[in-house]
């Protein structure tokens, strides 16, 4: 059960079945003259706590897991190795402590507000430094706001983390619709464009008339789309998965064609990586994009969710497997299980999957050029799905204000390499601070 706290003395949390969220009841008396419409715009403090019964139920299901036999190969070509899942299962049952991440989440200010009829959860941390730059950061799949917890301190309190006061940000980190603690859409239409518009509403509601935005994975698509919608408040964006592929290159890679002639070494590498992603790397995306509601069996199994999430991309899977083999680099065993456990406890596997359906229905390009003309900062992490070449990045973003290749890190950049990620955001947005 989750509870929201409001200023109303009549607010109370309803008890709901395991895996669902309790929503505060604010239907009681209101001050004389209060406008009901204003009530919908309220920002309500939010506290996270799941009953012990939910954790007992999780451990019971883990103990009853039925695993298949070993894969018939010695690499990752058939998916997540049985050994990795056995190690994950053993650690999840015996040593993992959900209450630790619950405490980390509750240590920062959490809120809920209603936008377009849907409850949106977000973390909002204001910097103590004057002239801090407002920043909204969006996670992706299979993610949550947990991925950004490591960057909150360095971004909002830079003087305590090797930066200067002029590097400070006011930070807003929302849970996407259908993910984590946000509401689950009951109708179609919550595609990247709708989410982008909702984020602008959120920032306005928080009093920010100028801000910047950052995203990776789905977040990268959302900030790209937001940048094309003409919001005067949006000064610029940062992406660690930029949409740089022209329509002809994207189509060729999707069809499995050989790399076009005349490409530079960087362009050919990006093309080959993209072609691999389309051929073997995002089968889950097509499955969720076509038939998300049919994935009941996965949604009903904690280990099923774990296996599905671990197989996001080849380089991330290899890194995660090493972490469970005692060689953590970037992500720890706890990091990985935090996200999986959150998805299980909130029962958001299928509601999160529907974003892929929305994307395919609305013909949203995952990796293609979106037509962004406002200022853009790009950071290229070497183990991302593809390393965006400078040449294609400059064409995709004619107002490119920052481009840098960092030494290490992959798809979950803020989560894996928070120090490098923080440094990139500071550098990427530095030139826009005078406009805020």
Whether 411 sits among the annotated catalytic residues: the reply is: yes
Strand residue runs (E) in 246-399: 376-380
Q: Buried b vs exposed e over 127-165: b needs ≥16 C-beta within 10 Å? A: bebeebbbbbbbbbbbbbbbbbbbbbbbbbbbeeeebee
Whether 356 sits among the annotated catalytic residues: the reply is: yes
The answer to whether 334 touches 385, Cβ cutoff 8 Å, is: no
- What is the chain's mean pLDDT, rounded? 91
For residue 214, is pLDDT > 70?
A: yes
What would the mean pLDDT of 412-423 be, rounded to a whole number?
97
The token pair that represents 282 in the structure block: 């995002």
Catalytic annotation, pick one of 308, 356, 386, 403: 356
Catalytic annotation, pick one of 217, 224, 250, 383: 217
Q: What's the predicted TM-score (pTM) here?
A: 0.91
How many Å separate Cα 167 from the centre of its chain?
23
For residue 369, is pLDDT > 90?
A: yes
pLDDT tens track for 242-289: 999 999 999 999 999 999 999 999 999 999 999 999 999 888 999 999
| Domain formed by 102-244+366-435, architecture | 3-Layer(aba) Sandwich (3.40)
Grade residue 57 by pLDDT with cuts at 50, 70 and 90.
very high
Q: Which residues are CB-neighbours of 192 under 8 A, at least 6 positions away? A: 218, 221, 222, 225, 355, 358, 359, 364
Rounded CA gap, 364 and 193, in Å?
9
What would the mean pLDDT of 184-201 be, rounded to a whole number?
98
The confidence score (pLDDT) of residue 434 equals 84
Catalytic annotation, pick one of 139, 170, 238, 411: 411
For residue 35, is pLDDT > 60?
A: no
Phi, psi values for residue 332, rounded to 5°: -95, 175
For residue 328, is pLDDT > 70?
A: yes
User: Domain segments of the chain: what residues?
Assistant: 102-244+366-435
What would the mean pLDDT of 335-358 be, rounded to a whole number?
98
Whether 271 sits among the annotated catalytic residues: the reply is: no
The confidence score (pLDDT) of residue 8 equals 29
The confidence score (pLDDT) of residue 16 equals 30
């Amino acid at each position: 059960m989750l509870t929201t706290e409001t200023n109303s003395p009549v607010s109370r949390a309803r008890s709901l079945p395991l895996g669902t969220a309790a929503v505060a009841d604010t239907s009681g008396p209101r001050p004389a003259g209060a406008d009901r419409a204003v009530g919908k715009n309220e920002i309500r403090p939010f506290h996270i706590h799941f009953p012990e019964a939910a954790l007992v139920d999780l451990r019971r299901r883990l103990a009853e897991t039925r695993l298949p036999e070993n894969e018939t190969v010695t690499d990752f070509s058939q998916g997540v190795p049985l050994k990795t899942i056995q190690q994950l299962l053993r650690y999840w049952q015996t040593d993992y402590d959900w209450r630790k991440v619950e405490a980390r989440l509750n240590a920062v200010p959490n809120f809920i507000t209603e936008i377009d009829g849907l409850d949106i959860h977000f973390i909002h941390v204001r910097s103590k430094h004057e002239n801090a730059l407002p920043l909204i950061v969006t996670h992706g799949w299979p993610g949550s706001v947990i991925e950004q917890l490591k960057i909150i301190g360095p971004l909002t309190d830079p003087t305590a983390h090797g930066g200067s006061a002029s590097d400070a940000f006011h930070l807003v980190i929302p849970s996407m619709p259908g993910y984590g603690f946000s509401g689950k859409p009951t109708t179609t239409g919550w595609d990247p464009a709708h989410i982008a518009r909702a984020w602008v509403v959120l920032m306005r509601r928080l009093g920010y008339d100028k801000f910047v935005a950052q995203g990776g994975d789905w977040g990268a698509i959302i900030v790209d789309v937001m940048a094309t919608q003409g919001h005067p408040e949006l000064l610029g964006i940062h992406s660690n998965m930029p949409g740089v592929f022209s329509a002809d290159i994207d189509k060729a890679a999707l069809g499995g064609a050989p790399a076009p002639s005349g490409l530079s070494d960087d362009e050919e590498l990006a093309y080959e990586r993209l072609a691999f992603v389309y051929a073997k790397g995002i089968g889950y995306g097509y499955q969720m994009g076509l038939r998300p509601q049919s994935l009941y069996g996965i949604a009903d199994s904690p280990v099923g969710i774990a296996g599905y999430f671990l197989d996001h991309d080849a380089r991330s899977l290899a890194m995660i497997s090493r972490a469970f083999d005692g060689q953590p680099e970037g992500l720890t065993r706890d990091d990985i299980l935090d996200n999986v456990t959150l998805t299980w406890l909130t029962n958001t596997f299928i509601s999160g999957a529907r974003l892929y359906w929305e994307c395919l229905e609305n013909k949203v390009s995952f990796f293609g050029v979106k037509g962004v003309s406002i200022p853009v900062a790009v950071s290229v992490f070497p183990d991302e799905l593809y390393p965006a070449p400078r040449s294609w990045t400059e064409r995709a973003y004619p107002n490119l204000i920052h481009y840098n290749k960092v030494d290490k890190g992959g798809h979950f950049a803020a989560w894996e390499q928070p120090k490098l990620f923080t440094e990139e955001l500071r550098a990427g947005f530095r030139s826009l601070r005078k406009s805020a």
